[in-house]
Amino acid sequence: MNIMGIVLAAGQGKRMKSKLYKVLHKVCGKPMVGHVVTALKNINTSRTVVIVGHGAEAVQSYLGDQVEYALQAQQHLVRDMPSCRRRICLAGKRD
């Protein structure tokens, strides 16, 4: 079975009142997004796409080439995720 992981990492984190991008805040010594990507690797996802926006360069610098990236140029709400997921799946369709 092919399992695809999609990680939402584009938020600004305004309520956190920090200059550090939300998903790069450490939990148990590791950035939050790192925990999510590790968990997805542990379940053998065939593909992991991290949706980046605010702070994209910092997130990409941390994660490197272990995942694919999709840029969310305009900040949308999580309710927009179904259409975003469809675009990612269609763009990366593999034969």
By annotation, the residues acting in catalysis are 15
d(CA 5, CA 50) in angstroms, rounded, equals 8
Q: What is the rounded (10 degree) CA torsion for 40, 42, 43, 47?
A: 50
Measure the CA–CA gap between 86 and 46, rounded to whole angstroms: 17
